[in-house]
Structure formats: C-alpha cells, structure tokens
Amino acid sequence: MTDTHPRHRLADALNSPVRLSIVAALSRVEKADFKVLRDTIEVSDSALSKQLTMLEDAGYVSISKGRSGRRPRTWVRLSRHGRDALDRHLAALQDIATLTPPTTMP
C-alpha cells in the first residue's frame, strides 16, 4: 500500500476543528492572548484551555503567563513546528478538496 492520498499528510493534532482554528488564528499574528482566541474561535474557556494544552504538548504552540496591570494574561504563540504542521495540513486539505469537487445537494 502506498501513502499517496493527501490524507496521509494531515496532522493528527489538527483534525479537530477547534485546534485547527486556534493554529490558523495564530498563523497571522505574532501572539494572541487567551481572550482574543476564545472570542475569535467562539469556544468556552475550558474547551480552549484543554485544546491549548494538547497543542502545547504537541509542540505546536508556546504559552506564557503575564500580567496586564492586576489582570493575569495568557499569551499564545505558534511555534515553528506548529507553522510547518499547519502548512502541510492546509496543503493536504487543499488537495483533498480538489480531488473530488463538492457536489451540490438538490
């Protein structure tokens, strides 16, 4: 069996829509804080926290804690590894999307 189908190039960690959204959102900023990610992706605090931990464990993002005045602040950055994985994942999705054009339901 050969691994020629583009699905073999998908990153497992990015098959979750929320994790893909997090990494995609971070791809066009230097860093974003927890609140911006939560509001942009429209998920709960707990769901975002869980997915960020998974992405951090995979080495896709780095998380740093700070303060803005009295307010605690969590900053998230996309790592080089995460950016490379996103590039490969998006390229694979693009290939999958063009393999069989979506059909319109009647």
What is the closest distance, in whole angstroms, from the C-beta atom of residue 46 to another protein in the complex? Answer: 18
User: Residue by residue, what is the 3-state secondary structure of 43-103?
Assistant: CCHHHHHHHHHHHHHCCCEEEEEEEECCEEEEEEEECHHHHHHHHHHHHHHHHHHHHCCCC
Would you tell me which residues interact with another protein (CB under 8 A)? 7, 10, 12-13, 15-17, 20-21, 24-37, 40-41, 54, 57-58, 68-69, 83, 86-87, 90, 93-94, 96-102
**Residue nearer to another protein on the CB measure, 46 or 70:** 70
21 close to 41: Cβ distance less than 8 angstroms:
yes
Give the span between the Cα atoms of 104 and 86, in whole angstroms: 28
Taking alpha carbons only, the member of 72, 69, 58 closest to residue 13 is: 58
